[in-house]
Amino acid sequence: MNQTPTNASNNAQTNAHEYSVSELAFSLKRTVEQTFGRVRVRGELGRVVIAKSGHMYVDVKDDKAVIASIMWKGSVSRLTVRPEEGMEVVVEGKLTTYPGRSQYQLVIDKLEPAGVGALMAMLEKRKKKLAAEGLFDEDHKQELPYLPQTIGVITSPTGAVIRDILHRLEDRFPVQVLVWPVLVQGDAAAAQISAAITGFNHFEASENLPRPDLLIVARGGGSIEDLWCFNEENVVRAAFASDIPIISAVGHETDWTLIDYAADERAPTPTGAAEIAVPVRAELIDTVEDYALRLKRGLSRTVESKKLGFAAAKLPKLDNVLAGPRQRFDLAAARLRPDALVRDISRKNDNLQNAGREAVRSMTRYMQKSRDQLASAGKLLGAYSYQGVLERGYALVSDADGKVVRKGGLLKSGQAVHLTFSDAKRGAVIDGKPKRSTKKPKRRVKKLATPTEKIQKNIQGDLF
């Protein structure tokens, strides 16, 4: 039987398999899941909703398309960075469909920012926003207590951070410490940290649990993703609203988070926070002892000063004591007038000059008299000297040993002597005979004596 083309086409369509709605929907689901399986997608987060059940519903989009996505509660709890609208992310998961709404969706089991640059950009944006609201203003910061009695520490109860803080506080100045245990990493950490700050501020003091005077929010070092919970708005706003002063000690010295700007003080490390929180007890004791010593010395000086004041009160008045000396001073001052002093000096100068001239005259007379006496003594000495006697014709007799012979009776006949004349020395023999000579003696011509020599001979006589 011949059929027209139109009828053949209609018969073909009539013979096609007829799906139920569910069959077709689940068939598409299987096809999508088998074709794509696990995928990795980069995009920007649009709508972000976390349901009460803990599941998160987000849109991953770019400038041309949007993929509705879901992240189950278990995966959400493992996030290190809280997803926000506008964040650029890389997600991994399984592409599937949701038959109940005839749409396909991405079931995400891993979500992370698209590199550190994306996180830093988001962080800078949030920082500017909170700063504009005044959450980082210096005027709002509180002064830390000098010696807190109780310190509240918000950190993980396990790990090295809490041990370092407690050990440092024990070394410096032991105080009571209350620890509020929280997660310091992951999506749930921010909520726990902000709740701990708020909880300490609403804490009602009792005998066993006093209200903290100071809070320390601490965590060890880590990547920007690890520390991201301290950049969350709820944590920053809780720190800003705290009535109790807060020290932020998150990460290492180079790690900065937004809570550092909102806190009243930032410490480079958790150990540094303990050093800022309390002084050194030994140094404080030394300071107090030094103040006590100064106080004691000050009191001693005050007592001594009061004693002198009481003693001075018993003394006579100063005017009465000084009345007599003042009167004598006035009289002496009258005698020391310039005109009287000039006359007195002039008179004493004249007397001094007269005394000088008289002294010169007396000295001149004395020296002349001394010269005359010296000349006379010189003449007398010359007259009485033995040389002068020899000049007058006498001779000095001495024995062979050179001893002067003063008496003739001391000499023996034949004894040799020396005769000293004024001009020479000659030898002689006492009572001796002259030595004979073989030479014919010369004839001596008798020299006539001069009248003067005759006179002297008659006066002096012959020595021999």
pLDDT tens digits for 190-231?
999 999 999 999 988 777 789 999 999 999 888 888 898 999
pLDDT value at 315 more than 70: no
Q: What is the pLDDT of residue 9?
A: 52
Position 345 in a domain: no
How many angstroms separate the first and last alpha carbons of the chain?
A: 226
Q: Are residues 155 and 261 in the same domain?
A: yes
Cβ neighbours of residue 39 closer than 8 Å, sequence gap 6 or more: 92, 93, 94, 95, 106
Position 6 in a domain: no
Taking every pair of Cα atoms in the chain, the longest distance, rounded to a whole number of angstroms, is: 231
Last residue of a domain, one of 261, 279, 297: 279
| 34/15 Cα distance (integer angstroms) | 28
Q: Which residue has the higher pLDDT, 247 or 308?
A: 247
Nearest to 217 by CA among 169, 174, 165: 165
Last residue of a domain, one of 279, 294, 319: 279
Q: What SS3 state is found at 260?
A: helix
25 close to 99: Cβ distance less than 8 angstroms: yes
Position 305 in a domain: no
Enumerate the β-bridge partners of residue 105: 96
Task: Please report which confidence band the pLDDT of residue 421 belongs to, taking 50, 70 and 90 as the band edges.
Answer: confident
- Interval 22-39 mean pLDDT: 81
Burial of 439 (0-12, 13-18, 19+ CB in 10 A): exposed
Ordered alpha helix ranges (H), 318-337 = 318-335
Neighbours of 263 (CB within 10 A): 26
Q: Are residues 75 and 193 in the same domain?
A: no
- What would the two tokens of residue 190 be? 């921010």
Q: Are residues 110 and 152 in the same domain?
A: no
Position 158 in a domain: yes
Q: Are residues 154 and 274 in the same domain?
A: yes
Position 159 in a domain: yes
- What would the two tokens of residue 459 be? 């006066």
Q: What is the pLDDT of residue 279?
A: 92
Query: For the whole prediction, is pTM greater than 0.85?
Result: no
84 close to 125: Cβ distance less than 8 angstroms: no
Q: Which of 265-279, 308-322, 338-352, 428-442 has the highest mean pLDDT?
A: 265-279
- What would the two tokens of residue 449 be? 């004596």
Residue span of the structural domain in which 104 resides: 20-114
Position 58 in a domain: yes
| 46/44 Cα distance (integer angstroms) | 6
Q: Are residues 166 and 222 in the same domain?
A: yes
Position 348 in a domain: no
Q: Are residues 187 and 257 in the same domain?
A: yes
- Interval 23-52 mean pLDDT: 84
Q: What is the pLDDT of residue 123?
A: 86
Q: Are residues 154 and 248 in the same domain?
A: yes
Q: Are residues 27 and 94 in the same domain?
A: yes
pLDDT value at 278 more than 90: yes
Residue with token string 């038959």: 99
Structural domains in the chain (count)? 2
Position 396 in a domain: no
Q: What is the pLDDT of residue 201?
A: 95
Neighbours of 84 (CB within 10 A): 14
